[in-house]
């Protein structure tokens, strides 16, 4: 009998409709598993929040007025100043100490200007940014930019008349992937619960109807006992 059962398990194929019915009947455990894993994913996201610090230094650049006024836009001015602040050699020329400041730190200095910003006025206000996950390094870089930007710009951008620092700010940002972790947890819960049900289906060695018994045991089925719903008694 055991050998016949094994032979049946090897030969029988369960169609998709049967699998879907079994999964649908177990929707409550599947839903519970999804909610549990989603809650776990949410908890993990809360413990893996990343904190970053964004330092900004505002500088005001005044252009000369008169026949020698240069025809330069705010965007080109920002690109020139950004390139100067990212180059260590210009700091050395001005005798500015770069102790504990790496070249890669200078490359993180940026000045963002919109593509459509073609302002040709006599005064440009530029915002120099530096972002980092270390608050101490962000403070150090902001102080360096405040000190270096006016000197480097004045001595290397000959088209400007003056440059002044208009203050700085340091903001703290908290980045959390709550949605990503929660959705991933819910998806994992669904896959595991459905996978467990499928394993139970394909490892079930029981006959499911009289036709399977007749085909595999080659004996006739004289009758069967129907399932009686207890609610109808």
Q: In angstroms, rounded to a whole number, what is the distance separating the alpha carbons of residues 97 and 143?
A: 12
Which domain, by its residues, includes 76?
50-175
pLDDT at 162 over 50: yes
Beta pairing partners, 127: 58
pTM over 0.85? The answer is: no
pLDDT one-digit tens code per residue, 183-209: 999 999 999 998 988 888 777 777 767
Token pair for 109 = 């200095």
Q: What is the pLDDT of residue 134?
A: 86
Q: Strand 110-111 to strand 162-175: parallel, antiparallel, or no bridges (unpaired)?
A: unpaired
**Range 172-190 average pLDDT:** 86
Q: In angstroms, rounded to a whole number, what is the distance separating the alpha carbons of residues 72 and 113?
A: 14
For 174-180, which contacts have Cβ atoms below 8 Å and span 24 or more sequence positions?
A: 174/49, 174/50, 174/51, 175/49, 175/50, 175/51, 175/52, 176/45, 176/46, 176/48, 176/49, 176/50, 177/45, 177/48, 178/42, 178/45, 178/46, 180/45
pLDDT one-digit tens code per residue, 31-50: 999 999 999 988 888 777 77
221 and 193 in a common domain: yes
161 and 85 in a common domain: yes
Dmax over CA atoms of the chain, in Å, equals: 112
153 to each of 35, 133, 142, 161, how far by Cα in Å? 58, 28, 16, 10
CATH of the domain at 60: 3.30.70
pLDDT at 221 over 50: yes
221 and 190 in a common domain: yes
Q: Assign 121 a pLDDT band (cuts: 50, 70, 90).
A: low
Q: In angstroms, rounded to a whole number, what is the distance separating the alpha carbons of residues 186 and 163?
A: 55
pLDDT at 137 over 70: yes
Of 131 and 216, more confident: 131
pLDDT at 175 over 80: no
86 and 166 in a common domain: yes
Residues 6+ apart with CB under 8 A from 64: 70, 159, 160, 161
124, 61 Cβ separation under 8 angstroms: yes
If one counts every other C-beta atom within 10 angstroms of the C-beta of residue 139, the result is 16
Q: In angstroms, rounded to a whole number, what is the distance separating the alpha carbons of residues 106 and 91?
A: 11
pLDDT at 156 over 90: no
Q: What is the pLDDT of residue 192?
A: 93
209 and 166 in a common domain: no
Q: Domain count for the chain, please give it.
A: 2
199 and 87 in a common domain: no
**Range 82-110 average pLDDT:** 87
Q: What percent of the chain has pLDDT over 70?
A: 83
């Amino acid at each position: 009998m055991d050998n016949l059962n094994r032979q049946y398990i090897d030969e029988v194929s369960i169609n998709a409709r049967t699998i879907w019915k079994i999964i649908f009947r177990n929707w409550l455990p599947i839903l519970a598993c999804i909610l549990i894993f989603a809650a776990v994913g949410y908890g993990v996201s809360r413990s893996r929040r990343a904190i970053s610090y964004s330092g900004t230094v505002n500088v005001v650049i005044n252009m000369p007025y008169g026949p020698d006024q240069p025809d330069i836009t705010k965007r080109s001015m920002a690109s020139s100043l950004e390139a100067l602040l990212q180059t260590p050699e210009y700091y050395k020329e001005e005798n500015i100490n770069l102790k504990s400041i790496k070249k890669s730190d200078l490359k993180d200095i940026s000045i963002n200007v919109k593509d459509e910003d073609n302002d040709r006025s006599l005064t440009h206000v530029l915002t120099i940014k530096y972002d980092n996950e270390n608050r101490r390094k962000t403070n150090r870089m902001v102080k360096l930019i405040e000190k270096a930007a006016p000197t480097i710009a004045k001595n290397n951008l000959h088209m400007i008349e003056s440059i002044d620092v208009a203050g700085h700010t340091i903001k703290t940002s908290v980045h959390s992937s709550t949605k990503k972790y929660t959705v991933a947890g819910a998806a994992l819960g669904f896959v595991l619960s459905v996978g467990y049900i499928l394993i139970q289906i394909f490892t079930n060695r029981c006959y499911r109807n009289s036709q399977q018994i007749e085909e595999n045991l080659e004996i006739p089925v004289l009758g069967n006992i129907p399932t009686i719903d207890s609610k109808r008694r």
